[in-house]
Amino acid sequence: MRPMSPINGTSALTKLFSARKTQKIIPNLLKAVLFDFDGTLAELNIDFIQMRRAVLGLMADYCKPSNGMEVLYVLEMIEAGKNLISENNPGREIEFFNRSHRLISNIETEGSKEGKLFTGTEDMLHELRRRHIKIGIVTRNCMDAIRQIFPDIDSCCDVVITREFTTRVKPHPDHLLTALDALDTDARSAAMVGDHPMDITVGKDVGVYTIGVLTGHSEAAALREAGADLIIEKAADITRFL
């Protein structure tokens, strides 16, 4: 096994073994696996702090941002800004909304130029297909950034639901439900794999089996607290637990 670098004074391996103490076995009747993308299957190198600041700066062209907006996720920040502009500068909220989405898409696409799939990702996806398990990607990222990193995504996945293809993104359950509907799979026969507690909580809300991975910014404790049924080092390891 490849040695893992220490994180915050505790090795990833130690955290992984600790997380496994209360883990369950992945259901044998698993028919589909849904994956988050950024931090789960790939590293995109997106500067989210820059992205939030850019959106807030754009919002200031229309009205003064409300207190507390700076801590929102960027998509929620855009939605809140649209509503605020609708109240204070009616008629310009759609212009702000469209400009904001172009702005963050450009930042994502630029960041994806330095991004890459994690080692073993494509082999894992092909192995799931060999086992006749359907594959979906459910991500808040834009499609252009995804395709730049993963040009062969269509040959490896059955459905990809980026933010352009759902009216309500994670953590809203509709994002996962849209993917499950496209895969014609019941939630009880599916799993959600992600690096963020958001992926786990939305998976629990929908009723799928939930798997946390340690390749993003979240530690095992946060994923476990969110209710992960299983925590593994990286998504590519999932076939070892089936």
Instruction: List pLDDT tens digits, range 12-64.
Output: 433 443 444 444 557 668 999 999 999 999 998 888 899 999 999 999 999 99
User: Is pLDDT at 139 greater than 50 in this prediction?
Assistant: yes
User: Is pLDDT at 152 greater than 70 in this prediction?
Assistant: yes
The string of pLDDT tens digits covering residues 176-187 is: 999 999 999 999
Confidence of residue 159 (pLDDT cuts 50, 70, 90): very high
User: Do the beta carbons of residue 211 and residue 193 sit within 8 Å?
Assistant: yes
- The one-letter amino acid code at 23 reads Q
Residue carrying structure tokens 């800004």: 81
User: Is pLDDT at 5 greater than 90 in this prediction?
Assistant: no
Percent of the chain exceeding pLDDT 70 equals 88
pLDDT value of position 47:
87
pLDDT value of position 64:
94
Q: Report residue 188 CA to chain centroid gap.
A: 20
Closest CA to 167 of 34, 51, 75, 59: 75
Confidence of residue 8 (pLDDT cuts 50, 70, 90): very low
The string of pLDDT tens digits covering residues 81-134 is: 999 999 999 999 999 999 999 999 999 999 999 999 999 999 999 999 999 999
Backbone angles phi, psi at 179, to 5 degrees: -65, -45
Average pLDDT over all residues of the chain: 90
* Burial tier of 165 (Cβ tally within 10 Å: 0-12, 13-18, 19+): middle
Q: What is the mean pLDDT of residues 61-84?
A: 95
pLDDT value of position 25:
56
pLDDT value of position 76:
96
